[in-house]
């Protein structure tokens, strides 16, 4: 029980440190905001709403046809917080290899960047307090949590087989070593002298 509590506290501490550091890095760049604005413009055009990207209050924004005012794509819209949470929770999962954690984060970031223009675009097209409050703020969080659960289960599929292979290898090595010791003992006398072979 104590070991479980200590491990959980270590995970939470590492998650908070990594997420905070990732958010600082993501916040220092406008690239996620620009990507969110451009991808949302493309999505809106696909659904028949013309939009152009322009600067709004120091952030990339969207001027949407039929919309009374430009839409600012700030850090919340860009999903920087969600990406930081994804980075922290995946890389804090130290029981997975670094390669699996790296690919897990890249895959999750791709899912987030693909979903983000859809949630922003729908929030613009069907703008209402419910859509903005529920769809805009909750969907990406739920997707990231679900993605982490799927990734965690998938990335651990071979862990049991790998452990079993290692145990079998160690066991075979031990048996081989004991077999070698037995042969040497049979060929050696009690005083360490070699026993002559019978002819």
| pLDDT > 60? residue 59 | yes
The 3-state secondary structure of the chain, one letter per residue: CHHHHHHHHHHHHHHHHHHHHHHHHHHCCCHHHHHHHHHHHHHHHHCCCCEEEEEECCEEEEEECCCCCCEECCHHHHCHHHHHHHHHHHHCCCCCCHHHHHHHHHHHHHHHHHHHHHHHHHHHHCCCHHHHHHHHHHHHHHHHHHHHHHHHHHHCCCHHHHHHHHHHHHHHHHHHHHHHHHHHHHCECCCCCECCCCC
Q: Look at residue 164 in the predicted model and tell me its pLDDT.
A: 47
Q: Look at residue 190 in the predicted model and tell me its pLDDT.
A: 46
Query: Is 189 domain-assigned?
Result: no
Query: Is 64 domain-assigned?
Result: yes
Q: How confident is the model at residue 196 (pLDDT cuts 50, 70, 90)?
A: low
Q: Look at residue 64 in the predicted model and tell me its pLDDT.
A: 84
Q: Which domain holds residue 129?
A: 2-155
Query: Is 178 domain-assigned?
Result: no
Q: How confident is the model at residue 170 (pLDDT cuts 50, 70, 90)?
A: very low
Q: What percent of the chain has pLDDT over 90?
A: 30
Query: Is 94 domain-assigned?
Result: yes
| pLDDT > 60? residue 12 | yes
Query: Is 177 domain-assigned?
Result: no
Domain count for the chain, please give it. 1
Query: Is 190 domain-assigned?
Result: no
Each residue's pLDDT tens digit, 135-144: 667 887 888 8
Mean pLDDT rounded to a whole number for the chain: 80
Q: Which of 4-13, 27-36, 168-177 has the lowest mean pLDDT?
A: 168-177
Q: Look at residue 88 in the predicted model and tell me its pLDDT.
A: 95
Query: Is 182 domain-assigned?
Result: no
Q: Look at residue 15 in the predicted model and tell me its pLDDT.
A: 94
| pLDDT > 90? residue 180 | no
Q: What is the rounded average pLDDT of the residues 12-31?
A: 93
Query: Is 117 domain-assigned?
Result: yes
């Amino acid at each position: 029980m104590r070991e479980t509590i200590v491990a959980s506290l270590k995970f939470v501490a590492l998650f908070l440190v990594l997420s905070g550091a990732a958010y600082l890095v993501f916040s220092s760049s406008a690239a996620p905001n620009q990507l969110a604005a451009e991808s949302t413009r493309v999505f809106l055009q696909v659904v028949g709403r013309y939009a152009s990207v322009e600067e709004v209050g120091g952030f990339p924004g969207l001027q949407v046809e039929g919309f009374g005012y430009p839409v600012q794509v700030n850090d919340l819209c860009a999903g920087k917080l969600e990406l930081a949470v994804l980075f922290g929770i995946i890389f804090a999962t130290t029981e997975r290899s670094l390669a699996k954690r790296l690919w897990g984060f890249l895959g999750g970031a791709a899912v987030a960047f693909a979903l983000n223009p859809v949630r922003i675009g729908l929030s613009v097209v069907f703008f209402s307090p419910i859509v903005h409050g529920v769809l805009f703020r909750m969907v990406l969080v739920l997707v990231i949590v679900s993605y982490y659960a799927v990734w965690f289960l998938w990335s651990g599929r071979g862990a049991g087989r790998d452990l079993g292979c290692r145990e079998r290898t160690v066991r075979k090595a031990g048996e081989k070593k004991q077999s070698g010791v037995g042969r040497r003992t049979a060929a050696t006398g009690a005083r360490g002298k070699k026993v002559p072979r019978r002819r």
